[in-house]
Structure 1
């Protein structure tokens, strides 16, 4: 019977890590899986579909990344995959593809044994056929469902009207208990889109200045400097950009000594929206309506 061997799986994983190491800011899972597949001449078996649906190659690769996550080599966040420092070290240390995958499986076994209170041998993945069976049984996994849902939310935010998006941010701040005193009307805003306080009169807490950008590109350190120039000593600055921030910009904000800065990208924005959803006004929920869906996810 044809199968995808451990060595072959290890080759797929090492290519995946090679691509992630080249882009430490992270790569979308769907883009990454396609790139790995395109880097190989897949066999007819690997290109085939499981009866339950889904490409065999993709299911096996995704299933193998579970070991890498539990080995602390890989991080996943709403469809964005990032390699960790431990993953980079493992990539350099275990250059043989089969040994690379075996080490990830070994670390997974240790993690699972600690979780379940059993021996490591009882927790480790065994034969190739058992691995393939588990991958097939995943069906529509939580991971894939989360990626699909996030893709829709992200597209909705990216295509929203800029001033509607500005109102979404203001709605979130209200839901978090802040008091909005000013929202920039259309036109020049001097670098500040929203002003908020921690109390209704702005008498006790700091003034919070917010800049909102529905940009498709990350904010760099120069773009951040322009906003920080508007932040006085007693102010708090919040910069919201859907695309996020470059590493230099994040370092620049973190190293500020006299100005307090918070950077919020799309993922952090939605996390906060979900966290405070119960406190949002009905008008806010209509602007960005989210519905939780619960299903039984397969156990790692």
Structure 2
């Protein structure tokens, strides 16, 4: 039976780290794996397909190895995005031999595994990929792939939504959060404010909430955010919702504001709030972004 050596796994991992380090904010797992596959020559075994799932062995090999890296504290996985941590950068720079690199990750995984109740420290062996392993890696991979798929589908759904429907979605969310929405901008020029909301039905209790909504793929810059904050008065607070997120400079600009306070909400935070207040949404609002919980066995933390 064909094998995948630790040296080969280490080579793939180091190349993966190289690819991830080129992106400051990490990469979606699928994108990272494609870039990795395009940058190496796969062996016939690695390019082979599992008949049961239709997956290439290559993807499973890499995913199994990244579980070690996660428990080693070298990679952070969040909603399908893989990012190299500070410890991961240090390991990548200091352990240049591929086999030693992967062995170090495995050793740290074993230390984590031994810390779990009822387990003793022992050296892991490379599993036959595609089969269940006693360390729970298969559970971790199943969980992360499900999370990646769910998040990707939600993101694509929201990005494809009509801009004004997305604006109404944000207004619906504010209502579910017990704010009183007094105005939602109709199609056309809005002067930089898309939604007005208050803390009480009559709008007598400050602050007034001014909201700008952007259904975009690019990050919001400091200039765009500065233009919005210029519309925020002394008795206002600003809420800027952007599906594309914000640049680091824009985030710093928002934190530095004192008299003109503004809260930034990216796609990640928006979906978290939608899930948190889903039970308080009106039925018509839920239909804008209908979600259903599906339960998976949670991998050990």
TM-score calculated relative to the size of structure 2: 0.91
Deviation at residue 130 of structure 1 after TM alignment: 5.0
Q: Distance in 2 between matches of 1:295 and 1:79?
A: 16
> Secondary structure at 1:133's aligned position in 2?
coil
Q: Distance in 2 between matches of 1:108 and 1:260?
A: 44
Structure 1 equivalent of residue 258 of structure 2: 257
1:48 and 2:48 matched: yes
Q: Deviations over 1:52-79 (max 9, x none)?
A: 3211110111111112222222222221
Q: Please tell me whether the aligned partners of residues 57 and 129 of structure 2 are also in contact (alpha carbons under 8 angstroms).
A: no
Relative to structure 2, which stretch is displaced further, 161-170 or 93-102?
Answer: 93-102
> Secondary structure at 1:45's aligned position in 2?
coil
Q: Distance in 2 between matches of 1:208 and 1:34?
A: 43
Q: Deviations over 1:276-295 (max 9, x none)?
A: 11111111101111111123
Structure 2 equivalent of residue 238 of structure 1: 239
- Superposition CA RMSD, Å: 2.1
Q: Please tell me whether the aligned partners of residues 221 and 250 of structure 2 are also in contact (alpha carbons under 8 angstroms).
A: yes
TM-score calculated relative to the size of structure 1: 0.92
* Aligned pair partner of 2:125 in 117, 124, 127: 127
Q: Distance in 2 between matches of 1:61 and 1:116?
A: 27
Deviation at residue 46 of structure 1 after TM alignment: 0.4
Structure 1 equivalent of residue 7 of structure 2: 7
Unaligned runs of 5+ in 1: none
Using a 3 Å threshold, how does the CA distance of structure 1 residues 280 and 66 change in structure 2: closer, same or farther?
Answer: same
Deviation at residue 297 of structure 1 after TM alignment: 5.3
Using a 3 Å threshold, how does the CA distance of structure 1 residues 234 and 87 change in structure 2: closer, same or farther?
Answer: farther
Deviation at residue 131 of structure 1 after TM alignment: 6.0
**What is the 5 A alignment of 1:173-212?**
173-212=174-213
- The structure carrying a bigger helix percent of its residues is 1
Q: Deviations over 1:136-181 (max 9, x none)?
A: 9559712112211222211111111110000001111111121111
Structure 2 equivalent of residue 277 of structure 1: 278
